[in-house]
Homo-oligomer: A and B are copies of this chain.
Amino acid sequence: MNADFQSWARDCQSRLETFLESQLAKTDREPARLHSAMRYSVLGGGKRVRPLFSFAAGALNGADAERITVVGAAVELIHAYSLVHDDMPCMDDDVLRRGKPTCHVEYDEATALLTGDSLQSLSFQLLAEHQVADSAQVQLAMIKQLAQASGSRGMAGGQAVDLDSVGKALTLPELEFMHIHKTGALIRAAVMLGAQCGNRLNEEQLTQLDHFSKCVGLAFQVVDDVLDSEATTATLGKTAGKDADNDKPTYVSILGVNQARELAESLRRDAFQSLESFGDAAARLRQVTDFIIQREF
């Protein structure tokens, strides 16, 4: 990872953190416990991968940094809410997230439920109240895209398939279907919304970008599975080996570690091909892709 990318990523992350901090209610505002849990679940942790994709996509067409910050924050709030709910006892029942106790452990289950609910509302609030596109019409289209990516035909739907898959022998296409929704939909939204903050891209460019984001979304999950199978809880910051313990199918359990790594590599090549026509403008998108694919490889 080169110094230029690191410095750019730190700048994006810092903008995002400052904005999120300013938009989450302070802990002295009632209901204080809920507001405290919301801040706990969002601030000071995570690699902010999805916002980085928004910033990188915005670099394709000179989008304004303030607009992308709002979009990145909206996507990250959806991601944060999904983690809070996903960790709850009736879902994955996990106690550790980003090296800290999960929300329902630090607070309580009811607060965790309301925290996730409120973070989702806040995401749409931000996207509606700040100008993120040249026209209000485009902004409405962006809200629609994020809502679709979050709902039953997107992220939440992928989680439902995931739950249903425990103890089942999924085929590779079935596993792919699950992850395209569970992880892929939101990464795709992060890329596509980031790109819509600036000058309009043409249809062909949007199609290529869409294909890029699908490849990257899947690659992200494949890498996650490899890391989960190899890492220790300490380096991962969340409970390691959880999926295998839960008898959940993963890319590693179906393909083995080596083939899973190869799949990630081939998805990376496919993703990069989709960016060719953008030339140097896509440099940041390539860097963020390498950042997530080469994490610990």
User: How far apart are A204's CB and chain B's nearest CB, in angstroms?
Assistant: 24
Residue-wise, chain A 89-127 has the 8 Å CB interface mask toward B (1 for contact) of 011000000000000000011110110111011101101
A31 interface residue, CB < 8 Å from B?
yes
Give Cα distance in the complex from A147 to B151, angstroms: 16
Among B85, B110, B161, contact of A117 (Cβ-Cβ < 8 Å): B85
User: How far apart are A155's CB and chain B's nearest CB, in angstroms?
Assistant: 8
CB-based contact A30/B157 at 8 Å: yes
Known A-B contacts A124-B124, A140-B140; the reply to A118 vs B156 at CB < 8 A is yes
Residue-wise, chain A 121-151 has the 8 Å CB interface mask toward B (1 for contact) of 1101101110000011101110110011011
List, in ascending order, chain B residues with CB within 8 A of A125's CB: 143-144, 147-148, 151
Among B25, B82, B127, B139, contact of A152 (Cβ-Cβ < 8 Å): B25
Give Cα distance in the complex from A161 to B31, angstroms: 6
Give Cα distance in the complex from A114 to B159, angstroms: 8
Residue-wise, chain A 6-32 has the 8 Å CB interface mask toward B (1 for contact) of 000000000000000000010001110
List, in ascending order, chain B residues with CB within 8 A of A117's CB: 81-82, 85, 116-117, 120, 150-151, 156
User: How far apart are A149's CB and chain B's nearest CB, in angstroms?
Assistant: 9
A4 interface residue, CB < 8 Å from B?
no
A163 interface residue, CB < 8 Å from B?
yes
List, in ascending order, chain B residues with CB within 8 A of A34's CB: 152, 156-157, 160
- Chain A interface bracket (under 10, 10 to 19, 20 to 34, 35 or more): 35 or more
**Copies per complex of this chain:** 2
User: How far apart are A41's CB and chain B's nearest CB, in angstroms?
Assistant: 12
Give Cα distance in the complex from A228 to B132, angstroms: 46
Closest B residue to A29 by CB, please name it. Answer: B153
List, in ascending order, chain B residues with CB within 8 A of A150's CB: 117, 121
CB-based contact B35/A152 at 8 Å: yes
Give Cα distance in the complex from A54 to B251, angstroms: 49
A:205-249 near B, CB below 8 Å: none
Residue-wise, chain A 154-172 has the 8 Å CB interface mask toward B (1 for contact) of 1011011101100000000
Could you list 18 A-B pairs, sorted by A, with CB under 8 Å? A25-B152, A25-B153, A29-B153, A30-B161, A30-B177, A31-B152, A31-B160, A34-B156, A113-B113, A114-B159, A114-B160, A117-B120, A117-B150, A124-B147, A125-B144, A129-B140, A136-B139, A140-B143
Going nearest first, the 3 A-B pairs with the smallest beta carbon separation are: A121-B151, A136-B136, A125-B147
